[in-house]
Amino acid sequence: GGRAARDRRDLLLPGLHAINDRIGWISEGALDYLCRRLTVPPAEAYGVATFYAMFSVRPRPATVLQVCTDLACAAAGAEELCAGVTSRLGPGSGVHVERAPCLGLCERAPATLAVRAGDPVRTAVTAPATVEGAELAATAPDSAPPEPAAALAVPQAGDPALTLLARVGAVDPASLDDYRAHGGYAALRRAFELGPAGVIREVSDAGLVGRGGAAFPTGRKWQATASQPDHPHYLVCNADESEPGTFKDRVLMEGDPYALVEAMTIAGYAVGAHQGYLYLRGEYPRAVHRMRHAVDQARARGLLGADVLGQGYAFDIEIRRGAGAYVCGEETALFNSIEGYRGEPRSKPPFPVEKGLFGKPTAANNVETLVNVLPVLTRGAAAYAAVGTSLSTGPKLFCVSGSVARPGVYELPFGATLGELLTLAGVRDGLRAVLLGGAAGGFVRADELDIPLTFEGTRDAGTTLGSGVVMAFDDTVPLPRLLLRVAEFFRDESCGQCVPCRVGTVRQEEALRRIADRTGAAASDDIALLREVGRALRDASICGLGQTAWNAVESAIDRLGAYE
């Protein structure tokens, strides 16, 4: 076509996915062809292709079996699983086995993901995985056992319309009619009655804050975006859920996909956007499939497109698949990724509400945050704000995994205690520690279970709620190995753009490896070095990845006495 090069650059990541889907890796010939089509310099495209873990620029077998070796899976025997499948699927098997960061299947640990090039189905999730099950998924997917549905629990007995999980498992996720029969699109109708300013007022009055971890007031973000004189405005849904231990957004998208389509439409309307982007983790094949179907159906039925619900408002959603980079969960890195660049964070300011995607005013919200807008509008701000505490309003999803009898997604009003949640999940005897907030979060001790699960309660207790990860570890889990895995994760995922993080994550891992190799005995100079590196990470890194890379290790030293 004749469109200018700058108009095509954003198709680079989808183009790389298309090649990778077809042949399983990015060959030089295919990359050259893509570069000519998009008029992107080959060296730059190569730099983008090598940035993402899901792509390989070297030939590899058509099937890649990813074995999650992150926290919950590690505690459930992932290393033994990985060794088992590696020995069964040797060279000549046509399967490349690799260790993977958290696959977001922590409630069914240990987990594997088989990605097959050229196959229309292409991917098979196995969780909980055995050596035999993972081998079948990679070599004979049709005979592999089906993936079980995610475990859910909604212990809250209250207004069912204030329950985020109410439709998950109760509706056919493929059916728009079923969604409408279960209350779907009532919130969008209400939004059109209220007008954009009225929607923002309702969301502000409800006290809704972001659920992705930062807890920023959603209404304020929307107001700031809506008021920008520069146009167009964009709405971005951050569905790049990659924090180890987090899987709630996957469950929402797989089980109630139209809810997110509706919520994104409302958010777009409020901030004055006509185009929304849903940036979805590449490792979530089922969620990608269901969201694509939901967007297509909504468009076919006039719920997206030039005239949404006949109200004269134009809005559409484009789905972009991530490609295996934790740092793309940082919103400015995510913008770069959509634009066709390496997913490296930008320095702030300018903030996204002023200059975000394509340099334009952008509201970026997490999946769970957006889905909360539906009950805010259908029940009203006051009813919504009556749930939870005065500073943390509404319901919250928690991802419970590790040594509990019933791992899964739990929905509770803010304010329940950590102990109450763990009791519901059937915490096992011998609890040693609980990780709150994922790898970027912190550990608390087994005698600190009275911490209230609110933003303010966790902060007062010197820890963090983060995105709602609650991972329980009993005393059989080797803590030094676990901390080493956290450090490996951050070293792997650092984008390398700034020195404190690039060097600091390496130094941190080296120190923790020395300690782990001495079976957990730490020399005092190791601890002093970790503290010094940790301070530099926290104070001098550009983005949240570097700033939080020492949190879990610090809390393990100070709260758990991990190396005493």
* Interface region with ligand SF4, contact rule CB under 6 A, candidates 161-169, 182-190, 388-396, 498-506: 498-506
x/- track of binding to ligand SF4 for residues 281-320 (CB under 6 A)? ----------------------------------------
SS3 call for 302: coil
- If one asks whether residue 535 binds ligand SF4 (CB under 6 A), the answer comes out as no
C-alpha triplet 292, 296, 301: angle, nearest 5° = 150
Please tell me whether residue 542 binds ligand SF4 under the rule CB under 6 A.
yes
Structure tokens at 191: 């939004």
| Beta strands 395-402 and 408-413, pairing class | antiparallel
Residue with the CB atom nearest ligand SF4 in the bound state: 546
Beta carbon nearer to ligand SF4, 393 or 494 = 494
Contact between 498 and ligand SF4 per CB under 6 A: yes
Beta bridge partners of 317: 276
Considering the rule CB under 6 A, would residue 89 count as an interface residue with ligand SF4? no
546 binds ligand SF4 (CB under 6 A): yes
CB nearer ligand SF4, residue 191 or residue 334: 334
Smallest distance, ligand SF4 to C-beta of residue 546, A = 3
Which spans in 216-366 are helix H?
218-226, 248-255, 257-271, 285-300, 331-339
Binding mask 499-518 for ligand SF4 (x = CB under 6 A): --xx----------------
The span from the CA of 304 to the CA of 298, in Å, is: 6
Q: Are strands 273-280 and 233-239 parallel, antiparallel or unpaired?
A: parallel
Q: Which stretch binds ligand SF4 (CB under 6 A): 149-157, 158-166, 464-472, 496-504?
A: 496-504
- Contact stretch for ligand SF4 (CB under 6 A) within 185-193, 207-215, 396-404, 493-501: 493-501
Q: Interface with ligand SF4 by CB under 6 A: which range of 239-247, 456-464, 474-482, 540-548?
A: 540-548
Nearest Cα neighbor of 116 from 93, 141, 148, 98 is 141
Per-residue binding letters, 332-371, with ligand SF4 (x by CB under 6 A): -------------x--------------------------
Q: 461, 496, 535, 554: which one contacts ligand SF4 (CB under 6 A)?
A: 496
- In 343-436, DSSP assigns E strands to 362-366, 395-402, 408-413, 431-436
Using CA atoms, how far apart are residues 433 and 486, in angstroms rounded to an integer? 15
Residue 374, token pair as written in the block: 């539906």
Quote the tokens at residue 364. Answer: 């970026």
Are 384 and 274 contacting, i.e. CB atoms less than 8 angstroms apart? no
CB of 496 to ligand SF4, least distance (A): 5
Antiparallel, parallel or unpaired: β 152-153 and 362-366: unpaired
Which residues touch 18 (CB under 8 Å, ≥6 apart)? Answer: none
Nearer to ligand SF4, 31 or 501 (CB): 501
Give the C-alpha separation, 483 to 550, whole Å.
10
Q: Shortest Cβ distance from residue 207 to ligand SF4 (Å)?
A: 30
* Residue of 115, 543, 557, 560 interacting with ligand SF4 (CB under 6 A): 543
Interface pick for ligand SF4 out of 66, 69, 464, 541 (rule CB under 6 A): 541
Residue 381 or residue 542: which is nearer to ligand SF4 going by CB? Answer: 542
Q: Is 494 in the site for ligand SF4 (CB under 6 A)?
A: yes
Q: How far is the CB of 122 from ligand SF4 (least distance, A)?
A: 30
Question: Which helix (H) or strand (E) covers residue 505, if one does?
Answer: helix 499-517
Give the whole-angstrom CA distance, residue 322 versus residue 327: 11
- Using the rule CB under 6 A, give the single segment among 96-104, 206-214, 388-396, 492-500 that binds ligand SF4: 492-500
Q: List, in order, residues 6 or more apart from 343 with CB less than 8 Å away.
A: 51, 52, 325, 327, 328, 333, 334, 336, 337, 495
Q: Candidates 260-268, 294-302, 494-502, 518-526: pick the segment binding ligand SF4 (CB under 6 A).
A: 494-502
- Binding status of residue 184 toward ligand SF4 by CB under 6 A: no
Helical H runs in 386-498? Answer: 418-424, 455-460, 479-493
Smallest distance, Å, CB 346 to ligand SF4?
A: 9
User: CB 418 → ligand SF4: shortest distance, Å?
Assistant: 29
How far does CA 556 lie from the centroid of its chain?
24
Nearer Cβ to ligand SF4, position 238 or 541?
541
**Would you say 361 or 546 has its CB closer to ligand SF4?**
546
Minimum CB separation from ligand SF4 for residue 499, in Å? 8
Q: Give the span between the Cα atoms of 375 and 37, in whole angstroms.
A: 45
Question: Residue 326: which of 282, 367, 384, 374 has the closest Cα?
Answer: 282
Cα–Cα distance measured from residue 273 to residue 457, given in angstroms and rounded to the nearest whole number: 35
Q: Is position 486 an interface residue for ligand SF4 (rule: CB under 6 A)?
A: no
Supply the minimum distance, in Å, between the C-beta of residue 395 and ligand SF4.
31
Q: Is 497 in the site for ligand SF4 (CB under 6 A)?
A: yes
List C-alpha distances in Å: 213 to 172, 198, 408.
Answer: 30, 26, 19
Candidates 81-89, 212-220, 470-478, 536-544 — which segment interacts with ligand SF4 by CB under 6 A? Answer: 536-544
Single out the segment in contact with ligand SF4 by CB under 6 A; choices: 10-18, 40-48, 101-109, 538-546: 538-546
- Contact flag: residue 329 with ligand SF4 (CB under 6 A): no
Is 545 a binding residue for ligand SF4 by CB under 6 A? The answer is: yes
Q: Which amino acid is at 180?
A: R
Q: Is 324 in the site for ligand SF4 (CB under 6 A)?
A: no
CA–CA separation, 342 and 319 (whole Å): 18
CA-to-CA separations, 286 to 12, 179, 214, in angstroms, rounded: 23, 18, 27
How far is Cα 234 from Cα 339, in angstroms, rounded to an integer?
A: 13
- Binding residues for ligand SF4 (CB under 6 A): 327, 345, 494-498, 501-502, 541-543, 545-546
